[in-house]
């Protein structure tokens, strides 16, 4: 700001930002409730520095967690990376309906899911593909063998894509069209052949350790890797969650984290709000302008009813209006 000719004290800026926290909290709470009403989630987490000393906590490492559903991209900040973070986040999750959670192989996810018999963890084929590619680079003599497995994974994606072209999400698996059933069988046969080849390789006592390592991991996570077969609504990878993390991670490389716990929570709230708006095709600047204007007209206090600002409750006309750039300020003559 000083470089632009406006020398403003840091405390002035940060105090203003801190006053925004209670304005966004009602939106965050409604976002969370909507999020937990859905049935398919993607999850991921990444490290985040919070430069405030916390009694009983060593260092400044926190974690930015994220779960993404059809309607909401939800971020939250936590001092730890264990399963208890997920337990708290999903405390109000329906324990009767089938929940599918797409994730990587981090141990906190199965540790959390063991208390939810209705939760299916779907593992990520992109991570398996990465295993083979990394092994091919590390062991050039095995590159041909590793790359053949990468090609086989690509064929699985292709077969699943063809199957989804004729999938009717309104019908159960057994009532899908004959074309779907044929393509479904092709996919199932390819997976069965892959599993058979994997097991035959593992029975070979002379199998090099690099091959054994990737195949053992493949076998250990096989049930999670095949969830998408019986539940076609499940993507084969966790790319949606990782893509949603991209902007915060890029930002972290620039500003390195948060200076206080409250600012870390504000960052997570705004990541949730802004990325959900983008998910719905709304203009974040316009939404923020409209929302903060309404708060200002409410005496600078949180809104009692945030329904007009929820993408899933807007009528088409309001949604279309908020897709446009915000109106110019009164003094703007551009």
CATH of the domain at 60: 3.30.420
Same domain, 164 and 226: yes
Instruction: Supply the pLDDT for residue 208.
Output: 96
Query: Which pLDDT belongs to residue 10?
Result: 83
Query: Total domain count for the chain?
Result: 3
3-state secondary structure of 76: strand
pLDDT for res 333:
54
**Are residues 99 and 117 in contact, defined by beta-carbon separation less than 8 angstroms?**
no
Exposed, middle or buried, 31 (CB in 10 Å: 0-12/13-18/19+)? Answer: buried
pTM over 0.95: no
- Same domain assignment for residues 136 and 224: yes
- Structural domain for 303, as ranges: 280-328
Cβ-Cβ contacts under 8 Å for 155 (sequence gap 6 or more): 190
Within-domain flag for 3: no
- Residues 24-39: tens digit of each pLDDT: 999 999 999 999 999 9
* Domain co-membership, 212 together with 293: no
Contact 228, 34 (CB under 8 A): no
* 69 located within any domain: yes
> Do 129 and 226 fall into the same domain?
yes
21, part of any domain:
no
For position 100, what pLDDT does the model report? 98
Q: Are residues 45 and 101 in the same domain?
A: yes
- DSSP letters of 202-222? HT-TT--HHHHHHHHHHHHTH
Q: Which residues face 68 on adjacent strands? A: 42, 73
Would 7 be classed as within a structural domain? no
Residue 129 and residue 153 in contact, taking contact as beta carbons nearer than 8 Å: yes
Query: 170 and 194: one domain?
Result: yes
Phi/psi at 283 (5° precision): -85, 110
Q: Does residue 132 sit in the same domain as residue 224?
A: yes
**Are 287 and 309 within 8 A, CB to CB?**
yes
Two structure tokens written together for 313: 């409750």
- The two tokens of residue 245 are 């993390």
Contact partners, residue 204, CB within 8 Å, separation at least 6: none
Residue 34 lies in a domain: yes
* 143 and 74 both lie in a single domain: no
CA distance 97 to 120: 11
Is the domain of 213 the same as that of 141?
Answer: yes
Residue 19 lies in a domain: no
Same domain? For 92 and 163 the reply is no
What single DSSP character describes residue 177?
Answer: -
User: Cα dist. 61→155, 173, 257, 258 in Å?
Assistant: 40, 45, 9, 11
Helices (H) and strands (E) in the chain, counts: 14, 5
Let me know if residue 171 belongs to a domain.
yes
The DSSP symbol for 326 reads P
Q: 34 with 166, same domain?
A: no
Q: In the 8-state DSSP scheme, what is residue 104? A: -
The candidate with the shortest Cα–Cα distance to 163, out of 142, 191, 184, 139, is 184
Structure tokens of 117?
Answer: 């018999």
Where the chain has pLDDT below 50, the residues are none
Give the helix, strand, coil percentages of the chain, each rounded to 5.
55, 10, 35
Distance CA 1, CA 187 (A): 58
- Helix spans in the chain (H): 10-18, 21-36, 83-89, 108-113, 125-138, 143-165, 178-202, 209-220, 222-225, 227-230, 239-255, 261-279, 284-297, 316-321
Q: Check: CB of residue 11 under 8 Å from CB of residue 291.
A: no
CB atoms within 10 A of CB 15: 10
Domain end call among 164, 196, 230: 230
Pair 49, 62 in one domain? yes
Residues 83-114: tens digit of each pLDDT: 999 999 999 999 999 999 999 999 999 999 99
- Establish if 333 belongs to a structural domain: no
Last residue of a domain, one of 230, 259, 290: 230
Whole-number pLDDT of residue 14: 87
* Cα–Cα distance for residue pair 222/105, rounded to 1 Å: 11
């Amino acid at each position: 700001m000083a470089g632009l000719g406006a020398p403003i004290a840091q405390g002035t800026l940060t105090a203003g930002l801190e006053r925004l926290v209670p304005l966004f909290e009602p939106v965050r709470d409604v976002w969370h409730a909507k999020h937990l009403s859905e049935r398919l989630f993607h999850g991921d987490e990444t490290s985040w520095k919070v430069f405030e000393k916390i009694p009983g906590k060593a260092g400044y490492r926190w974690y930015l967690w994220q779960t993404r559903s059809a309607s909401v991209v939800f971020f939250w900040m936590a001092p730890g990376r264990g399963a208890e973070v997920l337990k708290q986040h999903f405390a109000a999750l329906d324990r009767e309906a089938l929940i599918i959670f797409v994730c990587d192989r981090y141990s906190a996810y199965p540790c959390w899911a063991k208390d939810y018999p209705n939760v299916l963890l779907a593992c990520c084929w992109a991570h398996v593909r990465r295993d083979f590619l990394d092994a091919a680079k590390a062991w050039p003599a095995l590159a041909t063998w590793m790359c053949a497995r990468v090609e086989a994974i690509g064929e699985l994606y292709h077969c699943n894509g063809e199957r989804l072209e004729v999938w009717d999400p309104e019908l159960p698996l057994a009532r899908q069209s004959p074309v779907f059933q044929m393509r479904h069988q092709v996919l199932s046969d390819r997976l069965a052949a892959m599993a058979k080849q994997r097991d035959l390789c593992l029975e070979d006592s002379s199998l090099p350790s690099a091959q054994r390592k990737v195949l053992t991991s493949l076998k250990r996570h096989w049930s999670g890797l095949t969830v998408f077969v019986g539940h076609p609504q499940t993507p084969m990878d966790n790319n949606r969650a990782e893509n949603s993390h991209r902007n915060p991670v890029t930002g972290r490389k620039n500003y390195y984290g948060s200076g206080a716990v409250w600012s870390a929570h504000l960052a997570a709230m705004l990541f949730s709000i802004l990325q959900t708006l983008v998910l719905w095709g709304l203009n974040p600047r316009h939404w923020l302008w409209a929302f903060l204007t309404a708060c200002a007209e409410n005496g600078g206090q949180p809104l009692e009813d945030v329904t007009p600002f929820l993408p899933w409750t807007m009528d088409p006309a309001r949604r279309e209006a908020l897709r446009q750039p915000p109106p110019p300020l009164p003094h703007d003559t551009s």
